[in-house]
Amino acid sequence: MANIRPFRGFRPRPDLAARVASPPYDVVSSQEAREMARGNPYSFLHVGKPEIDLDPAIPLTDDRVYAKGRENLTAMVRDGVLVRDPTPSLYVYQQRMGDHVQAGVVGACSVREYEAGLIKRHEHTRPDKEDDRTRHVTETNANAEPVFLTYRADPAIDAVVDRVRARPPACDIVTDDGFGHTVWVVDDARDIEELHALFARVPALYIADGHHRTAAAIRHGQAARARNPAPRGDEPYESFLAVVFPHDQLRILDYNRVVRDLNGLAPETFVQRISERFVVTPASSPRPDRPRTFRMFLGGRWHAIEVHPSRVPAGDPVKALDVSLLQDHLLEPVLGIRDPRTDKRIDFVGGIRGTQELERRCRQGWAVAFALYPTSLDQLLAVADAGRVMPPKSTWFEPKLRSGLIVRLLDE
């Protein structure tokens, strides 16, 4: 079952919502965040990335950074920038990106269900990033930014969400990137009970984006539970803020690769080496049009490369991923990139930046770029159901959730 609970959320004052809404902490650098928040004291980046209000020389893990985040969130509440809803509620959060629309339910999801394997992951996390977000949750005593979850779509849940979306929204903004973000408050007891009952029959939730935020919420909850001599089981730390979308509404973009050098090979030799495992031909377009095919930008030209069918393992949901095929049959054996998590010779470019970004990187001095066909939602669910994890940088979800539109303090 999926236990999704209502809570008394904090939301921006309507006239400030567009100025509060900000990108998630992990999709912009500190310098980018400073520039985006310059002249905007209401930006939620002051909470998610509080280092922007301190001397850039201060380390990101300095105590002063987390204290500043707490101070900034407290000030937003005190000054009425964020206002708490009077009753425990669920929320519907809709995003619009061009013709693409997705709508999810916002609620408090269960730490214990994650521990029981009912909220499934598909990525490894880095301890340093876990430590950072755990400190952030603990110091602010808040789920400042939601986790992005998905589930196998249920038409009955869709019907309730559509019914809510037929009402006037509480917040409707368009951000600087042209994407629309709309929020409805679900405070009617019958709607809440119906959604709670419908999600109770959903067998599992899946982390789509936000593995480090999830891990931080779990660690915070477990630590708080260990300090409580008489826990009830429904304490605020036993749940975390999430937006839960049906899987058939989500959109995964390609997550592409650029490599600094050809591992000492001349371009002609490099092409010969990869031809042992791939069919290499001139490309008519920079984007692959089907799985198990790639585009390679080398020497100012695009090439199509298709993996030999004999190289595709049967029955292994991880090894059959396009990101795995590229890693196992080209990046490691030919270019010598054994661990893409730590190798500084490789970088990753989200599909939202387009293949033009790959060409730009190569003009700047990177040796070769690879455009991949996007991982599918079905592949993600299959990997998570198998208890496996994907290689790093396998999925790029777009649009990203905006931070600051719904915030949950852990003081209820």
- Determine the pLDDT at residue 310: 84
- Is the whole model's pTM more than 0.85, yes or no? yes
What phi, psi does 237 have (nearest 5°)?
-70, -10
The pLDDT, as a whole number, for residue 169 is: 98
Q: Which amino acid is at 10?
A: F
Residues of the chain with pLDDT under 70: none
- Report pLDDT for 343: 93
Q: How far apart are CA 235 and CA 317, in angstroms?
A: 37
How far apart CA 330 and CA 293 sit, in angstroms, is 13
Tokens representing residue 157 in the block: 């849940």
pLDDT tens-digit map of 33-85 = 999 999 999 999 999 999 999 999 999 999 999 999 999 999 999 999 999 99
| pLDDT score of 353 | 87
Q: Which amino acid is at 51?
A: E
Looking at residue 77, its pLDDT comes to 98
Tell me the three state secondary structure of residue 28. coil
> What pLDDT sits at residue 109?
98
- Kindly list the structural domains of the chain, giving each domain's residue range(s) and its CATH number in brackets, ordered by start: 10-251+398-409 (no CATH), 255-373 (3.30.1760)
Please tell me the number of Cα atoms within 13 Å of 196 on its side-chain side: 17
Among 406, 368, 166, 354, residue whose Cα is nearest residue 269: 368
